[in-house]
Amino acid sequence: MRKQILSLAVALLIGSTVCMAQNRQNGKADREKRMEQIVTDLGLNEKQAKDFKAAMEEMRPAKNKSNERPTREEMQKKRQEIDAKIKSILTDEQYKKYQDMRKKDNAKKKKKAK
C-alpha cells in the first residue's frame, strides 16, 4: 500500500513538472502572437512595427544587478518612458486606439483577478 501511494505521488510530481515546463514555453509564443495582433489592429507600417516591438521589449521587467525585480516606482518610471516612445512612434489616431486597447486589457485583467 505504501509503495502504491509513493509511486502515485512520484507520478503526480513528474506530471505536474512536465505541465509547468510546457506552460513556460507557451508564454513567449503567446506574447509574440499578442504583439502581432496589436500591430495588425493598429495598422502599423514596417518601421512602426519594428520600433513598437523594440519599445515593448524594453518594458519587460529586467532584473537589476542584485538579481531582484524592479520596484513599483522603477516600473512606473520605465512605463512612462516607454509610453512616450510609443507615442512618438504612432500617429495620434493609432495612439488613441492603443490606449483604448490597453484600458480594455487592464479591465479584463482586473476582472480575471477577482
* Number of C-beta neighbours around residue 83 at 10 A: 16
Check whether 63 has a pLDDT greater than 60.
Answer: no
Check whether 9 has a pLDDT greater than 80.
Answer: no
* 104 Rama class: left (phi>0) / alpha (psi -120 to 50) / beta: alpha
33-58 confidence digits (pLDDT tens): 888 999 999 999 999 999 998 888 88
> What pLDDT, on the 0 to 100 scale, is given for residue 70?
76
CA distances from 85 to 15, 42, 112 (A): 44, 16, 29
66-102 confidence digits (pLDDT tens): 667 778 898 889 889 999 999 999 999 999 999 999 8
